[in-house]
Structure 1
Amino acid sequence: MTKLKLGPIVDDKPVKVTLELPANLHRDLTAYAEVLARDTEQPLADPVRLIAPMLERFMATDRGFVKARRVIRSASSDDP
């Protein structure tokens, strides 16, 4: 089994975003979707559906962002 950063894709209410990707990135997303489907034994997901969980995972593991977000949240909770 491959050690991927993403697990099964959770179905959530989406917000529509239009985005253009380089062809090589789309090919990589497609390959990632294939590996994920094989490893999780779920049906092959549309590669575009991987973008949101990948961004969530990236932001959740970016220590600088997590720290800055904590500072912003504590500053806004201190406001009257």
Structure 2
Amino acid sequence: MEDSSEVLVCAAEYIKDRLYFVTLRTSGRPRSTANTHYFSIDDELVYENFYADFGPLNLAMLFRYCQKLNKKLKVS
């Protein structure tokens, strides 16, 4: 197993003790536990480029992400 100090790149707390955004340096995905739930949108919400750009997701993808996040926050 990799040293956690080498895997975690950045973490930001958005809702105290409830919602965090983390950037990881690993090809594997973390597993949820009894106290934590991890999810990724990497394979679900795909960026559609316009003339070889690399900008953010479009508003439709952002809306889908917000719906997904709201649903997850209501469950826990």
TM-score bin, normalised by smaller chain: under 0.3
* Higher strand proportion (structure 1 or 2): 2
* Higher helix proportion (structure 1 or 2): 1
- TM-score, normalising length: structure 1: 0.27
- Name which structure has the greater RCO, CA cutoff 8 Å, separation 6+: 1
- TM-score, normalising length: structure 2: 0.27
Greater C-alpha Rg: 1
